[in-house]
Amino acid sequence: MTDATPVAPALRGRRELIAWRNAVFVIFALSGMSIASWVARIPAIRDELGATTGAIGLLILGLSVGSVVGLIASAPLLARLGARNGMVLALLLVGLGLALVGVGSAIPGAPVLLAIGLVVLGFGNGSLDVMMNVEGAAAEKELGKTVMPLMHAFFSFGTVVGAGLGALASLLDVAVVWHLLVMALLIAATALVAVRSVPHRDELDDPDTAPGQARPSWVERLREDLAVWADLRLILIGVVMLGMAFAEGSANDWLALAVVDGHLETNTMGAVVFGVFVAAMTLGRVLGGPVLDRFGRVPVLRVSAALAIAGLLLFIFVDVDWIYIAGVILWGIGCSLGFPVGMSAAADDPKKAAARVSAVAMIGYCAFLVGPPIIGFLGQTFGILSALLLVLVLVVLSGLAAPATRERARETP
């Protein structure tokens, strides 16, 4: 456990804490499963719609816009509903979004319905992303041990399951609409069961407010939240997250299609290679905690960036299947720790953790907002593999900004 991890004595019974932790694990996995279910069927949806690469980029933009709006809306939703009810609402919206995407893909000439489904899916997942991280941090605090890396690993595990089911559906020639409708029902039903173990909490702790002291007004809170943007170190942490999130998001959105169009493989092979990527990310996040504790954030992020760069070069420039698949593995491992490490680094200052985490999350989500259409338009003009060179540049910048994430205990006085 790193020195920056807050430790507090358990406030609940051990069994209740374990059930709470496990529920958050499941919620992380459901989020990953929902995204992977859509991504794994992008080539099939493209074929059913007869859409161009640029058109798919515009559709994915709807998912990104919905995600950013959900990220912004998460704070008022948390304040209004609490984390437990808020996560239920978010996951139900995720299921609704998947269902609309499936139905939209099955109706000729109905891309608008599909686009609406992607916006709803993005909004649900964007708001859920903040809520489940806040809930995970609260559970970690009461457990008194580091579990956030494993929570992010469960997200990756969910993407592995989602990608695997998507590949199986493609292999069996299951229509996209039936596949996504089943996944929507599965996610909604599992969410309703899992959240029963999440405790009701009226509001989040405010470390800046002493017991009995009046809480600051929303204007004061807004001023304090905006003040963190003047911190250059925080912006550099955001650069780390931007590059790594771009690498992760580009794979989520375009890897399956890049395998099909760039390496001339089948739709099923595209889904399988995407599954290899998310499996590599899962492995990186499962093993990342002990490695970070042993070597520290900065060396690990530098090596991670180097792995991602090597993997991207192999995938883009080598057309031998086992070599570019090896590149996908390096790509996945290389970008697996950027987002969770950035979150941890932003939260090192407990008094401003919420505002700092929100700020870097917004920077990271810029990758999901601008990345899909840029890659789509570049892919339309230069080819999908050449478009991924932009990802390579951003990963280089991420590696250069890695020193901003240094743990306070490792800083030189």
Question: Using one digit for the tens of pLDDT, what is the confidence trace for 23-43?
Answer: 999 999 999 999 889 888 888
pLDDT given at position 354: 57
Q: Are residues 119 and 67 in the same domain?
A: yes
Please check the confidence at residue 333 and state whether its pLDDT lies above 90: yes
Longest C-alpha distance within the chain, in Å?
66
Residue 164 in any domain: the answer is yes
pLDDT given at position 403: 93
Residue 220: CB atoms within 10 A of its CB come to 11
Query: Range with the lowest mean pLDDT among 17-26, 54-63, 212-221, 400-409?
Result: 212-221
Question: Using one digit for the tens of pLDDT, what is the confidence trace for 171-213?
Answer: 888 888 899 999 999 999 999 998 888 887 654 444 445 555 5
Residue 218 in any domain: the answer is no
Query: Range with the lowest mean pLDDT among 64-73, 104-113, 184-193?
Result: 104-113
Residue 413 in any domain: the answer is no
Q: Are residues 301 and 362 in the same domain?
A: yes
Distance, in Å, from the CA atom of 31 to the CA atom of 26, rounded to the nearest integer, reads 9
Residue 258 in any domain: the answer is yes
Q: Are residues 56 and 173 in the same domain?
A: yes
Question: Using one digit for the tens of pLDDT, what is the confidence trace for 224-272?
Answer: 656 666 778 888 998 998 899 889 888 878 898 899 989 988 888 998 8
- Give the number of domains in the chain: 2
Q: Concatenated DSSP letters for 329-396?
A: HHHHHHTSSHHHHHHHHHTTSGGGHHHHHHHHHHHHHHHHHHHHHHHHHHHHHH-HHHHTHHHHHHHH
pLDDT given at position 350: 57
For the chain, the first-to-last Cα distance in angstroms comes to 22
Distance, in Å, from the CA atom of 306 to the CA atom of 309, rounded to the nearest integer, reads 5
Q: Shortest CA distance to 60 belongs to which of 109, 128, 114?
A: 114
Q: Are residues 34 and 146 in the same domain?
A: yes
Residue 217 in any domain: the answer is no
Residue 388 in any domain: the answer is yes
Q: Are residues 1 and 77 in the same domain?
A: yes
Cα-based distances in Å from 28 to 23, 120, 398: 9, 18, 25
pLDDT given at position 146: 63
Distance, in Å, from the CA atom of 311 to the CA atom of 119, rounded to the nearest integer, reads 31
Q: Are residues 63 and 190 in the same domain?
A: yes
pLDDT given at position 52: 74
For the chain, percent of residues with pLDDT exceeding 90: 29
pLDDT given at position 188: 92
Q: What is the CATH number of the domain that holds 374?
A: 1.20.1250.20
Q: What is the token pair recorded at 213?
A: 């002291």
Which H or E run contains 18? helix 14-40
In Å, how far from its chain's centre is CA 247?
11
Distance, in Å, from the CA atom of 308 to the CA atom of 311, rounded to the nearest integer, reads 5
Residue 63: CB atoms within 10 A of its CB come to 28
Q: Are residues 163 and 231 in the same domain?
A: no
Residue 222 in any domain: the answer is no
Please check the confidence at residue 398 and state whether its pLDDT lies above 90: yes
pLDDT given at position 215: 57
Please check the confidence at residue 413 and state whether its pLDDT lies above 50: no
Average the pLDDT over 322-330 and give the result: 95
Q: Are residues 252 and 180 in the same domain?
A: no
**Could you tell me the pLDDT band of residue 300, with boundaries at 50, 70 and 90?**
very high
Q: Are residues 129 and 254 in the same domain?
A: no
Amino acid identity, position 120 = V
Distance, in Å, from the CA atom of 34 to the CA atom of 180, rounded to the nearest integer, reads 9
pLDDT given at position 28: 93
Residue span of the structural domain in which 261 resides = 227-407
**Could you tell me the pLDDT band of residue 214, with boundaries at 50, 70 and 90?**
low
Whole-prediction pTM value? 0.70
- Provide the mean pLDDT of the chain: 81
Residue 207 in any domain: the answer is no
Per the listing, tokens 């943007």 go with: 229
The rounded radius of gyration (Å) of the Cα atoms in the chain is 20
Q: Shortest CA distance to 270 belongs to which of 293, 252, 245?
A: 252
- Whether the CB-CB separation of 139 and 20 falls below 8 Å is answered with yes
Q: What is the token pair recorded at 149?
A: 């890396």
Average the pLDDT over 348-356 and give the result: 63
The CA-based angle 191-40-121, given to 5 degrees, is 45
pLDDT given at position 411: 54
Q: Concatenated DSSP letters for 280-328?
A: HHHHHHHHHHHHHHHH-HHHHHHHHHHHHHHHHHHHHH---HHHHHHHH
Question: Using one digit for the tens of pLDDT, what is the confidence trace for 127-145?
Answer: 888 788 777 767 776 776 6
Distance, in Å, from the CA atom of 377 to the CA atom of 364, rounded to the nearest integer, reads 21
Please check the confidence at residue 84 and state whether its pLDDT lies above 60: yes
Q: What is the token pair recorded at 300?
A: 């690990």
Question: Using one digit for the tens of pLDDT, what is the confidence trace for 275-289?
Answer: 899 889 888 888 887
- Whether the CB-CB separation of 65 and 122 falls below 8 Å is answered with yes
pLDDT given at position 410: 55
Q: Are residues 231 and 288 in the same domain?
A: yes
pLDDT given at position 217: 54
Distance, in Å, from the CA atom of 115 to the CA atom of 104, rounded to the nearest integer, reads 8
Q: Report which DSSP code applies to 410.
A: G
